Amino acid sequence: MEEVAVVGNKKVILKNYVDGIPTETDMEVKIGDTIELKAPKGSSCFLVKNLYLSCDPYMRGRMRDFHGSYLPPFLPGQPIEGFGLAKVIDSDDPNYTPGELICGITGWEEYSLLRSSNELQLRKIQLDDAIPLSYHLGLLGMAGFTAYAGFYEICSPRKGESVFVSAASGAVGQLVGQLAKLHGCYVVGSAGSKQKVDLLKNKLGFDEAFNYKEEADLDAALKRYFPDGINIYFDNVGGSMLDAALLNMKVRGRIALCGMVSLQSLSSSSQGINNLYNAIPKRVRLEGFLQSDYVHIFPQFLEHVKGYYKEGKIVYIEDMSEGLELAPAALVGLFSGKNVGKQVVRVANE
């Protein structure tokens, strides 16, 4: 009988359900579990070694004890899961062979046993020297696709329009702004530090950018940058920024509701939207969306964005944390804007 290697499998588990903004103490890095480096015969599973994990704001929604959302909650005491990039180590699934690289939903642990029938949004990754592997979690992953589908499908942009993006240096916003510039739009972004504002203007090619923390009056700030109003607002934050944008939309403006990272709680919002009335005379369309509704255009997205990147027409900024131990801090940091660009955790070297 062949000997099967047994190795330690460090993991990040959710201790208890969380209602507000998660803290590091809501999670724990658990050491001591082991795993056989073998996919059990007859299981139709395959075993992967996780290389990179993606930290995304939507994951906070899965930390609540709430079952009415588009994704079920995490289980306390079990590893958190999210998008990751991994290498197949062993397989009982004919579609996956050892050595292949895959992207999809995996566990926050060193090794995961996956089953392809579990709707993990799996896809195989081809190595490309021109593109860092981790970019498959950001630029070419869920965040990049959210930007692409949201901008083209929800915002219906036209050349020469005025576009405002909040959380503009984040995983999604940085690509929305660059796509808008390539489309011939005037683009302004907001972010929460001088460093991020500098990146928006000098590296990401936005026409203008401002630090919302330095603006006493967001309505006045938007009127300064959009004296004639906003055609498209790509909203990643909700709250007072959405309220200010509603005062500044042009007739038939479009607002893509992508995320609301500014909210303290997802279940009991203490802060309402006061300026919604403006959507009526201005005939503004507000639409929430999920990238998963647009998977049919994913191949087109990959082709376009890979091409833009290789031609030097777009750049992408990522913030890399080293080691699974730092994953809880990396995830929590999203909600205070600690990250500069797309937040990724490197679990193991390629």
| Coil vs helix vs strand at 49 | strand
For residue 46, the surrounding DSSP H or E stretch is strand 45-54
Whether 63 and 73 have beta carbons less than 8 Å apart is answered as: yes
Condensed to tens digits (0 to 9), the pLDDT of residues 88-125 reads 999 999 999 999 999 999 999 999 999 987 777 899 99
Domains of the chain: 6-138+317-346 (3.90.180.10), 142-292 (3.40.50.720)
Condensed to tens digits (0 to 9), the pLDDT of residues 184-238 reads 999 999 999 999 999 999 999 999 999 999 999 999 999 999 999 999 999 999 9
pLDDT tier, 6 (very low <50, low <70, confident <90, very high otherwise): very high
| Average pLDDT score, the chain | 94
Condensed to tens digits (0 to 9), the pLDDT of residues 25-76 reads 999 999 988 999 999 999 999 999 999 999 999 999 999 998 888 889 999 9
Higher pLDDT, 203 or 20: 203
For residue 332, the surrounding DSSP H or E stretch is helix 327-333
Condensed to tens digits (0 to 9), the pLDDT of residues 238-261 reads 999 999 999 999 999 999 999 888
Looking at residues 323-336, what average pLDDT do you find? 96
Provide the pLDDT for residue 2.
66
pLDDT of 1 over the 60 cut = no
Condensed to tens digits (0 to 9), the pLDDT of residues 138-182 reads 999 999 999 999 999 999 999 999 999 999 999 999 999 999 999
Provide the pLDDT for residue 96.
95
Whether 174 and 166 have beta carbons less than 8 Å apart is answered as: no
DSSP one-letter code for 211: E
Whether 167 and 140 have beta carbons less than 8 Å apart is answered as: no
Tokens of 307: 């091409």
Provide the pLDDT for residue 283.
98
Using H for helix, E for strand and C for coil, what is the string for 141-205? CHHHHHHHHHHHHHCCCCCCCEEEECCCCCCCHHHHHHHHHHCCCEEEEEECCHHHHHHHHHCCC
pTM confidence score? 0.94
Q: How far apart are CA 175 and CA 314, in angstroms?
A: 8
Q: How far apart are CA 137 and CA 287, in angstroms?
A: 25
Q: What is the DSSP string of 85-147?
A: EEEEEEESSTT--TT-EEEEEEESBSEEEEEGGG----EEE---TTS-GGGGGTTTSHHHHHH
Provide the pLDDT for residue 121.
86
